[in-house]
Structure 1
Amino acid sequence: MRLTWRGIVTLVAAVVLIAAGVFAGYALLIALGAIAIGAVVAALAVAGRKPRVEVARDVYPDRVERGSRAGLTLRVYNPGTRRQPGFTAVDRLGASTLKVAVRSLAPNSEQSYLNELPRGNVVDMKSVR
């Protein structure tokens, strides 16, 4: 996991605030810098959690001619006892990737996402299953 530009800027600003607070003798600047560092650490803790879900993928139809349409159903299930926050799922299909924005899931709930497979790419259906 890595920081975004916003996180990096926040950390740099926190260091500047703390340094200025120590140099000038202002406790408020030191406190603001410490709060900024705490915010970045909290964001890393929240964003660093991996989703705990079960995912199933169905491709239809089973056989597709080159250039024809094919669909993909992604079923996401939350087996836990807590609400699962939303996340972005990335599915690799041959040379292509498909990104799916998964919404927040209540405990023991399931959500299905329907997508069309990219045309023009040769995808081995055995590898998709």
Structure 2
Amino acid sequence: MQKIIESLVSTGQWGEHDVVLGIRAGFKCEYCDKDLLASVENYKEWQKDHIIPTSKGGADINDNIAISCKTCNVNIKSRWNPAELAEENATREDLIKIVRKYVKNRRTQMLSDICLFREIAFSE
């Protein structure tokens, strides 16, 4: 792992903190599994998200940070707080599971909406 960290940091494109978070996440969005190194478009979506938003009392520590794609972070999860559905003393993994379920449900609803929009837009 240290070799990966050093090699990526040596490119001048990565900070050590981002590499450590990326390794923990497998370089994928922790909410939808999008491979963030699969393409330029995916890489440009790389973001860090506070699992429990700082505006909702979440700490600015590694255990409260997830690697996320922009779509999940900004367009779907936003400031939604998974702690509202979690049991007391939920682990990071518990919170990630709650967010993953939330994201999946929101994506399903959004896809349904898009299908309706396409039906309307291309009905002629």
TM-score range, shorter chain: under 0.3
Higher normalized helix content (fraction of residues): 2
Superposition TM-score, scaled by structure 2 size: 0.23
Q: With structure 1 as the length reference, what TM-score do the two structures score?
A: 0.22
